[in-house]
Chains A and B, each alone.
Chain A
Amino acid sequence: MPTPIDRDGVQRLLAEGAQLVEVLPQDEYEDEHLPGAINIPLKTLDAERTQRLDCERPVIVYCYDYQ
């Protein structure tokens, strides 16, 4: 079950080597994103597109807000 996390938690996990994934469409990602985030839009999120992620390390996903 995915774990909800707040901003402090994000910063702590990033310091420990977590991977950050923005799941919004590409244009919104290019407009603004969290430092170091990669973009995998929700519509394209599949096994092939996630090969670039290390499954041994934590993955943090986010979008714009509680939508």
Chain B
Amino acid sequence: MSPRAAWRLESIGFTRVYDYVAGKADWGSAGVPLEGTRDSDTRVGAHLNRDVPTCRLDDRLDSVRACVHTAGWDTCLVVNDEQIVLGRLGRAALTGKDDVTVEEAMSAGPSTVRPSLELDRAVERMRRQDLTTLPVTSSEGRLLGLLERDTAEQALRELNLNSARTLAEGSQS
């Protein structure tokens, strides 16, 4: 649709016309704020924990394990210098005794979601796949944070409660 709009503008006489073809979906998937009546709390991006432990491919597992446990986590995302998610160390890797490199111990290419995903869909997915956390990345694969299931389920309960209240108030007025 936007290419046709761009050409239409040129036909009207505008000479400096740019077409952001990836559009609103791309903007939202990068975690950049949008405006409008839709409540941003219904999106994954509003409920991220951004203080997530990360490590590099060539780190030693022993040192990563100690840092992660001290910070109170049971998972660690493997990223490169651009913060692109390359892998993940899960509970099994972090409770093992091996002292190998992160690259040898990680699960490569973990599933991720975008911050624009609806929270209810993320929770449904975490329940279905029995996940306690879900990495959230931008459309370029850059780590934005981690969605924790407890936090997401609590937020969803509150959203549903508020929605029910609004409906009830509407029916009374």
Chain A residues within 8 Å of B, Cβ to Cβ = 1-7, 9-10, 13, 18, 21-24, 29-37, 42, 45-47, 50, 53, 55, 57-67
Contact = CB atoms under 8 A, between A and B. Distances in A.
Interface stretch (B5-13, B79-87, B128-136): B5-13
24 contacts: A1-B10, A2-B9, A2-B19, A4-B18, A9-B18, A10-B20, A13-B18, A18-B18, A23-B5, A31-B37, A33-B35, A45-B5, A45-B8, A45-B9, A47-B13, A50-B9, A50-B12, A50-B14, A62-B23, A62-B27, A63-B1, A64-B24, A65-B21, A66-B21
A5 B16 CA distance: 12
Interface residues of B, number: 35
Interface of B: 1-10, 12-28, 30, 32-38
Contacts of A5: 18-21
A55 B17 CA distance: 9
Contacts, number: 130
A7 B27 contact: yes
Most A Cβ at <10 Å: residue of B7, B15, B24, B36: B24
Most B Cβ at <10 Å: residue of A3, A5, A9, A59: A59
Shortest Cβ-Cβ A-B pairs, 5 listed: A2-B6, A62-B20, A32-B36, A65-B25, A23-B5
